[in-house]
């Protein structure tokens, strides 16, 4: 150790500091080279201001590609959070919609039952006079059997009037042309023409284009 490095037989701190400062690396400028203490040339691009290896954005061992992957992953995580929130909102709305639908279904069922009850009551109210007519016909027929048939016919006429008010139309009468849409042929007999109703076992009824009950009839067929 040189004399100026020793002071009173002890190491000179000022000399050590000067030596350390001389050994401190300074990054090379553009086009220059950095030389270490042994005279070897260092790559200035790999040194930071303190002569240490440069790290990307302050993360040890991370380069630009790795940082891009991290940023992409963080973006995906943010998107997941957004989707989870949207999913929670949709589940909440779906629950509300299901509850509203259950309420609507309950109200609709109650309204339907109420409408059926009102329809039944109205039909029964229309049929009550028929019951009264039958009661009178039976009373008169027990006293004079000859009056029974006219009374029953009167009841039948009133019944058809009530059916008409309800939208029912009688179908399947003698002389009417046979139509399989409205009639059911129980028997075929020889006659003057084809597909003509010659006898009615049971009258049929329809409501517009909808068959309520087919008429059961006997149909003629030319021999």
Residue ranges of alpha helices (H) inside the chain are 13-23, 64-143, 148-165
Alpha carbon distance 56, 64 (integer Å): 7
Alpha carbon distance 106, 155 (integer Å): 42
Give the pLDDT score at 60: 62
Give the pLDDT score at 212: 92
Query: Confidence class of residue 58 from pLDDT cuts 50, 70 and 90?
Result: low
Alpha carbon distance 58, 139 (integer Å): 113
- 50 CB-side CA count, 13 A: 4
Whether pLDDT at 178 is above 60: yes
Residue of higher predicted confidence among 75 and 56: 75
**Domains by residue range for the chain, with CATH:** 1-54 (no CATH), 170-223 (2.30.22.10)
Paired strand residues for 206: 169, 211
Q: Are 209 and 182 in contact (CB under 8 A)?
A: no
Which helix or strand (DSSP H or E) is residue 7 part of? strand 6-7
Q: Collapse the DSSP code of 209 into the 3-class scheme (helix H, G, I; strand E, B; otherwise coil) and give the result.
A: coil
Give the pLDDT score at 14: 52
* Ramachandran category for residue 219: left, alpha or beta (phi over 0 → left; psi -120 to 50 → alpha): beta
Give the pLDDT score at 72: 78
Give the pLDDT score at 61: 62
Give the pLDDT score at 197: 95
Residue 88, Cβ neighbours under 10 Å: how many? 10
pTM of the entire structure? 0.47
Query: Confidence class of residue 222 from pLDDT cuts 50, 70 and 90?
Result: confident
Lowest mean pLDDT among 71-80, 84-93, 96-105, 194-203: 71-80
Query: Confidence class of residue 1 from pLDDT cuts 50, 70 and 90?
Result: very low
Give the pLDDT score at 43: 46
Residue 171, Cβ neighbours under 10 Å: how many? 21
Taking residues 118-131, report their average pLDDT.
82
Q: Collapse the DSSP code of 59 into the 3-class scheme (helix H, G, I; strand E, B; otherwise coil) and give the result.
A: strand
Q: How many residues does the chain have?
A: 223
pLDDT in tens, 132-177: 888 888 888 888 888 788 888 888 888 888 888 888 899 999 999 9
pLDDT in tens, 15-27: 444 444 444 444 4
Taking residues 187-208, report their average pLDDT.
92
Alpha carbon distance 66, 104 (integer Å): 56
Angle at which helices 148-165 and 64-143 cross, to 10° = 160
Whether pLDDT at 33 is above 70: no
């Amino acid at each position: 150790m040189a004399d100026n490095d020793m002071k009173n037989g002890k190491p000179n701190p000022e000399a050590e500091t000067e030596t350390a400062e001389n050994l401190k690396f300074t990054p090379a400028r553009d086009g220059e080279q950095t030389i270490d203490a042994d005279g070897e040339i260092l790559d200035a691009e790999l040194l930071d201001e303190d002569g240490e290896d440069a790290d990307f954005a302050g993360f040890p061992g991370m380069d630009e590609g790795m940082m891009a992957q991290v940023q992409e992953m963080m973006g995906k995580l943010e998107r997941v959070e957004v989707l989870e929130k949207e999913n929670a909102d949709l589940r909440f709305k779906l629950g509300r919609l299901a509850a509203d639908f259950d309420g609507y279904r309950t109200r609709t069922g109650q309204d339907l039952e109420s409408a059926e009850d009102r329809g039944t009551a109205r039909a029964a109210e229309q049929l009550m006079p028929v019951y009264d007519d039958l009661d009178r016909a039976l009373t008169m027929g027990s006293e004079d059997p000859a009056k029974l048939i006219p009374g029953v016919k009167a009841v039948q006429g009133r019944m058809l009037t009530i059916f008409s008010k309800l939208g029912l139309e009688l179908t399947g009468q003698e002389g009417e042309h046979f139509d399989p849409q409205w009639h059911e042929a129980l028997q075929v007999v020889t006659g003057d023409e084809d597909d003509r109703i010659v006898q009615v076992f049971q009258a049929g009824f329809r409501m517009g284009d909808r068959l309520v009950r087919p008429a059961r009839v006997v149909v003629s067929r030319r021999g």
